[in-house]
Structure 1
Amino acid sequence: MRPRHVIHLAVKELRGLLHDPLLMVLVVYAFTLDIYTHATAMPETLNRATIGIVDEDASPLTRRMADAFLAPYFVPPAQIGLAEMDARMDAGIDTFSLVIPPDFQRDLLAGDRPELQLNVDATRVSQAFTGAGYIQAIVDQEITGWAARDAAAAAPPVDLAVRARFNPALDPGWFGALTAVISAVTMLSIILSGAALIREREHGTVEHLLVMPVTPAEIMTSKVLSMGAVVLVATGLSLNFMVQGVLEVPIAGSVTLFLVGVALHLFATTSLGILLATISGSMPQFAMLLLLVLLPLEILSGGMTPRESMPEAVQYAMLAAPNTHFIALSQSVLFRGAGLSVVWPQLLALALIGTAMFSIALRRFHGLLR
């Protein structure tokens, strides 16, 4: 391994990347607009949902219920008639339609159990799941408060004090921005390193490298270093300017420690990208193979859902994936402010997985050059 050869080859890889405008646009987009979108449009949060109310009772209670649907969760409710309810939902005007029957307040006072009807446009999945629960809670709260308006306020036997740690304001944008950065690191490192090798195979420059006094280890190391450096620099800039600057998302832990984890993770994922490129014969094949690899890495590594909710077999199998340890490290450092004494097992696991991945990819790459 001659460092001078590796540096020259790495500079060549960077020049090749700069002359590929599509990949450059992908890098810029992934660490800017994509992060902004994830931070400002989290689907788990109900925001400005449209609701129409068919109030056939027109009592003080039903007016109180209508006034309880407040921003930013709902837009001001539209008072509609029963005949126009279906047409408004068919046209996509209302996501929710709440039907209040006649004599609703009188039946409550009489001790009966009148029914309300809530129609939900389930095609708007991001709002339908959470919105129905919001509406039920609001209606229950208003009815309970109205029914107990004349009763003496009794102190509850237990006072539950809720304190949200690591995100006191419960702002989903904090989680969305940092999760987008973590996902972009994995995705781009695999794409850039794999595309670098396939680009040389399609242009025929691999044959030129064979007649040069360089070894397969030097060629592969240069690709890992150059593409990893691009993603590492983009990650640092994105954290400083986009996450902390534009979005004003606080980072609890050390950015330096996180970037060390990013570097070890890139060692594994860039090697994985080269491994996939040695299996693929062209860029379309590489793209199809990438889908089969990226989806399990993103879904089963704990970034979207907790690993504890998955079957034990999946949990153990995903310990061999670098994403599992990288996401655990990233969440500990960025969300909870953990230090080296907490995340050193993840750093060690990333180093071991990266070494194994690099060795396997180098063996495949060496066989490709023969």
Structure 2
Amino acid sequence: MHTWLFNVLHLSLKELRCVLRDRTMMGAIVISFTVAVYVVALGAKADVTHVAVGILDSDHSTLSQRIRAAIRPPLFQEPVDLTRDTAQAEMDEGRYLFVLDIPEHFEADVQAQRPTEVQLWVDATAMAQGQLGVAYLTEIVLRETLDEFKAKGIDARLPTRPVVHVLFNPNTTTSWFTSVMQLINNVTVLSVVLVGAAVIREREKGTIEHLLVMPVRPSEIAVAKILANGLVILVAVAVSVLAIVKGLLLVPVEGSVVLFLMGTGLYLFSLTALGILLATVASSMPQFGLLAVPVFVVMYLLSGSATPVENMPLWLQHLMQLSPSTHYVKLAQGILYRAAGVDIVWPQMVAVGGIGAAFLALALLRFRSMLARQG
């Protein structure tokens, strides 16, 4: 055991020097965990912000003017008057996401308590903004109509009254969510690529033969690559959380950063083992890239970082429990957003570690056979 640890240590130092000397890879790591996290957090927004709204006001009444005045920044831009001849063309060109169509005699029908309709045209190609915008504009029209109808106190006469409390992100600030999820996605991509590229690079350059003549075992080579490459990503994650997420973006990190990094370490162990497994299947770097891309896409889209796991079919929810990213996303959200402790996130940590052990066992089997063929 002492010899095994000694060999792993020296191989890890050798691998670490190789990683640090690779300027291209180090540049990608630095940019991914700094600039990419910051830019995506501030730029990628799914909520409604400064959305262009057109209006077809056929009534020109006091009530229609009130509705127009209620549509204002920062959610919407000032409404622009359109004509029926040009409204559809303007939406087809993507200039307006919403067009509000107020019919003639709208105010008179409201005052006379006659049925009337307000039509809202929606460009549903922007799906998330379309859904939220419909809810906001519907609330604006209903609120202003009730106020005009002198029904401000109607909610007091209802048997129930909704009171909404938003936990963990009271202002529903998008950057609080996207910054952490982008960080997780970068960990997923770079950890697999880094260790997989390390294995294939040695094979293509012929340095794998140097290892074969040394008194080291395949497990020592594989574990050394996992430790060295995982350490580089772990340091980058720590810097990103403290300097970018918490420092520049001012995201309130509620839980323990140390506990989060411990969970990240387990996740890196799992993904780097997966990277070695994929590298033993591929025979060249292009093949490795083609093999890794579908893995990234599935882990990203179905892990819960892009869409809630609860919205997926039940069979798919069960299937994604075999992916370490599903458990890591839940672990990260619990620690960073809800201040969860070890007593809450330990099942996710055990799951990530167990999946990583399974990946490592398969990777070692493949790695031994690859070295045997190489020799």
Same fold (TM over 0.5): yes
Q: 2:143 aligns with which of 135, 141, 144?
A: 141
- Opposite residue 45 of structure 1, the aligned amino acid is D
**1:20 corresponds to:** 22
Q: How many percent of aligned residue pairs carry the same amino acid?
A: 42
Q: Structure 1 regions of 5+ residues with no counterpart?
A: none
Classify 1:308/1:81 alpha carbon distance in 2 versus 1 (closer, same or farther; 3 Å).
closer
Q: TM-score, normalised by structure 2?
A: 0.91
Residue 285 (structure 2) pairs with residue 279 (structure 1): no
Classify 1:153/1:16 alpha carbon distance in 2 versus 1 (closer, same or farther; 3 Å).
closer
* Deviation >4 Å, runs of 4+: 149-157
**1:60 corresponds to:** 62
Aligned ranges 1:67-146 → 2 under 5 Å: 67-146=69-148
Q: Structure 2 regions of 5+ residues with no counterpart?
A: none
**1:193 corresponds to:** 195
Q: Deviation at 1:91?
A: 3.4
- Opposite residue 69 of structure 1, the aligned amino acid is I
Contact 1:50 1:95 in 2 (8 A): yes
- Name the count of aligned residue pairs: 370
**2:218 & 2:153 partners in 1: Cα distance?**
82
Q: 2:240 aligns with which of 227, 238, 241?
A: 238
**2:155 & 2:133 partners in 1: Cα distance?**
30
Classify 1:197/1:154 alpha carbon distance in 2 versus 1 (closer, same or farther; 3 Å).
closer
**1:174 & 1:282 partners in 2: Cα distance?**
39
Q: Deviation at 1:253?
A: 0.8
Worse-superposed segment, 7-16 or 266-275: 7-16
**2:228 corresponds to:** 226
**2:297 corresponds to:** 295
Classify 1:113/1:223 alpha carbon distance in 2 versus 1 (closer, same or farther; 3 Å).
same
Classify 1:86/1:347 alpha carbon distance in 2 versus 1 (closer, same or farther; 3 Å).
closer
Q: Deviation at 1:181?
A: 1.7
**2:99 & 2:344 partners in 1: Cα distance?**
50
**1:310 & 1:101 partners in 2: Cα distance?**
40
Q: Deviation at 1:262?
A: 0.8
Classify 1:159/1:101 alpha carbon distance in 2 versus 1 (closer, same or farther; 3 Å).
closer
Q: TM-score, normalised by structure 1?
A: 0.92
Worse-superposed segment, 30-39 or 44-53: 30-39
**1:203 corresponds to:** 205
Worse-superposed segment, 254-263 or 158-167: 158-167
Q: Deviation at 1:178?
A: 1.5
**1:8 & 1:17 partners in 2: Cα distance?**
14
Kindly report the root-mean-square deviation, in angstroms, between the aligned alpha carbons of the 2 structures: 2.2
Contact 1:100 1:116 in 2 (8 A): yes
Contact 1:44 1:130 in 2 (8 A): no
CA deviations over 1:179-222 (Å, ceiling 9, x no partner): 22222222211111111111112222112221223221221111
**1:252 & 1:112 partners in 2: Cα distance?**
52
Q: Deviation at 1:150?
A: 8.8
Partner SS state of residue 252, structure 1: coil
Q: Deviation at 1:294?
A: 1.9
